[in-house]
């Protein structure tokens, strides 16, 4: 079983990658993960923290989010609008403008829509307003506390895709999506719960890297919507550490070890995105030494790293960017 995305020449000219993590997709996919046990080694700490915060919210709101984003099966497409959105509020405004006939049609994909979710079928203002409040509160409790980590990992994934695009064009970008996708022109393939063919028909496709997407990519249920492919980044164990963005003791120790001309130079080089061999060459050290410097920067939450085949690509986190720019202003 698998997903097959069929490209034309026109589609290859319209491949785009999202400018950052998509808040509405992260809300929906994190709700999926809260309802199952997938990726326990990666997500269980986050699950415990998120559930503790969610207990403080109205139970009706949590039931609504869980009914709309169940642990298995499809989710109504209107919850993740196709238009690129810079922030959650813009996404929610788009959700709230969904026509009533579309609400009813897309809610029908749920196996069961009892209780609070059933109120949305009528599209009454009170039910839609409750949905908006539920999404905002859920995001605040489950997603926002680790947003800087999510952003850093998605930025690293974007850098990996950009490197493929610069080196080999769109072909290189699509090849960089391994292991989730397999590019055999003109078809992009991936494992999927069932067999499905998605024909882009000249519309192009938006690629959305996602923290809470696990193992398999996702796309819209409705093939007539603007095509998107949501696919997982590789967070690794410990991605959730220091979720507030403020250094804890371990991070503080790592920042103290950061002091020194060579690591400062490494941080400046990584601002543009580079692999370990490029880092070594540009700061004048051996690759093993460059790898050690990168490890310390990563431990301090100043950079994020993603592996692409046999190379590790490094990019700055928001904390690293802030530190570098603050230092530049003071120099």
pLDDT for residue 99 is more than 70: yes
CB of 135 closer than 8 Å to CB of 65: yes
Secondary structure of residue 252 in the 3-state scheme:
helix
Report whether pLDDT(240) > 70: no
Considering the domain architecture, whether residues 12 and 160 belong to the same structural domain is answered as yes
Residues 15 and 152 in one domain: yes
The pLDDT, as a whole number, for residue 291 is 92
- Do the domain assignments include residue 140? yes
Among the candidates 125, 145, 165, a domain finishes at 145
- Considering 87, 112, 145, which residue would you say is the last residue of a domain? 145
Pair 31, 110 in one domain: yes
Q: What values do phi and psi take at 217, rounded to 5?
A: -75, 170
Give CA–CA dist 30/269, Å, rounded. 34
Q: Using CA atoms, how far apart are residues 220 and 216, in angstroms rounded to an integer? A: 14
Q: 10 and 32: one domain?
A: no
Q: What is the mean pLDDT of the chain?
A: 84
**pLDDT tier at 301 (50, 70, 90 boundaries)?**
confident
Query: Within this chain, do residues 128 and 178 fall inside the same structural domain, yes or no?
Result: no
Handedness of CA 244, 250, 256, 262 (dihedral sign): negative
Provide, rounded to the nearest whole percent, the portion of the chain with pLDDT above 70.
86
Whether residue 77 is contained in a domain is answered as: yes
H helices of 55-146, in order, are 59-68, 88-96, 100-107, 125-138
pLDDT band at 223 (very low <50, low <70, confident <90, very high): very high
Strand, coil or helix: 216: coil
Helix locations, 204-275, DSSP H? 249-258, 261-270
Domain membership flag for residue 243: no
The predicted pLDDT at position 163 comes to: 77
Together in a domain, 120 and 163:
no
Domain assignment of residue 244, yes or no = no
Q: Are residues 225 and 274 in the same domain?
A: no
Residue 169 φ/ψ, nearest 5 degrees: 75, -160
Same domain? For 15 and 27 the reply is: no
pLDDT-derived band of residue 243, with 50, 70 and 90 as boundaries? very low
Q: Which of 10, 26, 308, 2 is nearest to 173 (CA)?
A: 308
Report yes or no on 119 lying in a domain.
yes
Q: Tell me: do 133 and 152 sit in the same domain.
A: no
State the helix-helix crossing angle for 287-299 and 261-270, rounded to 10 degrees.
80
User: Do 5 and 201 form a contact (C-beta atoms < 8 A)?
Assistant: no
When pLDDT is cut at 50, 70 and 90, the band that residue 234 belongs to is: confident
Q: Does residue 215 have a pLDDT over 50?
A: yes
CATH code at position 277: 1.10.10.10
CB 24 within 8 A of CB 80: yes
- Is residue 145 within 8 A of residue 53, CB to CB? The reply is yes
Q: Indicate whether 269 and 254 sit together in one domain.
A: yes
pLDDT digits (tens, 9 = 90+) for 26-66: 999 999 999 999 988 889 999 999 999 999 999 989 988 98
Given pLDDT bands bounded at 50, 70 and 90, which one contains residue 238?
Answer: low
Domain contains 283: yes
Q: Final residue of a domain: which of 145, 161, 186?
A: 145
Q: Note the pLDDT tens digit of each residue in 266-289.
A: 888 888 788 898 899 888 899 999
Highest average pLDDT, of 111-125, 142-156, 218-232, comes from 218-232
Domain of 86?
A: 23-145
Same-domain pairing of 270 and 225: no
Residue 242 located in a structural domain: no
Extract the tokens encoding 315. 């990019």
Residues 6 and 200: beta-carbon distance below 8 Å: yes
Are 179 and 255 in the same domain? no
Position 158 scores a pLDDT of 83
**For the chain, what is the domain count?**
3
SS (HEC) of 265-294: HHHHHHCCCEEHHHHHHHHCCCHHHHHHHH
Question: Does any domain span residue 238?
Answer: no
pLDDT tens for each residue of 102-148: 888 888 888 765 555 677 777 778 888 889 999 999 999 999 998 88
Sorting pLDDT into bands at 50, 70 and 90, what band is 247? very low
> pLDDT at position 251, please?
45
């Amino acid at each position: 079983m698998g997903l097959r995305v069929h490209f034309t020449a026109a589609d290859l000219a319209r491949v785009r990658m999202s400018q950052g993590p998509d808040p509405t997709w992260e809300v929906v996919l994190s709700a999926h993960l809260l309802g199952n046990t997938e990726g326990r080694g990666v997500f269980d700490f986050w699950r415990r923290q998120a559930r503790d915060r969610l207990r403080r919210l109205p139970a009706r709101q949590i039931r609504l989010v869980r009914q709309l984003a169940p642990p298995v099966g499809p989710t109504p497409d209107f919850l993740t609008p196709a238009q690129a959105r810079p922030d959650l509020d813009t996404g929610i405004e788009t959700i709230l403008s969904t026509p009533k006939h579309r609400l009813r049609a897309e809610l029908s994909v749920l196996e069961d829509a009892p209780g609070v979710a059933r109120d949305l079928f009528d599209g009454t203002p009170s039910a839609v307003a409750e949905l908006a409040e539920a999404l905002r509160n859920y995001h605040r409790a489950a997603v926002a506390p680790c947003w800087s980590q999510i952003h850093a990992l998605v930025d690293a994934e974007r850098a990996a895709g950009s490197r493929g695009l610069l080196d080999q064009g769109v072909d290189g970008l699509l090849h960089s999506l391994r292991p989730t996708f397999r590019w055999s022109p003109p078809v992009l393939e991936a494992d999927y719960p069932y067999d499905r063919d998605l024909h882009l028909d000249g519309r192009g496709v938006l690629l959305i890297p996602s923290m809470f997407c696990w193992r398999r990519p996702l796309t819209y249920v409705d093939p007539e919507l603007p095509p998107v492919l949501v696919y997982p980044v590789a967070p690794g164990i410990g991605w959730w550490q220091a979720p507030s963005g403020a250094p804890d003791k371990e991070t503080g120790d790592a920042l103290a070890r950061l002091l020194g001309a060579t690591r400062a130079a490494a941080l400046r080089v990584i601002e543009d995105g580079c692999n370990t061999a490029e880092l070594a060459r540009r700061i004048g050290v051996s690759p093993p030494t460059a790898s050690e410097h990168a490890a310390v920067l990563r431990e301090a939450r100043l950079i994020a790293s993603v592996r692409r085949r046999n190379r590790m690509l490094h990019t700055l986190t928001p904390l690293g960017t802030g530190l570098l720019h603050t230092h530049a202003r003071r120099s």
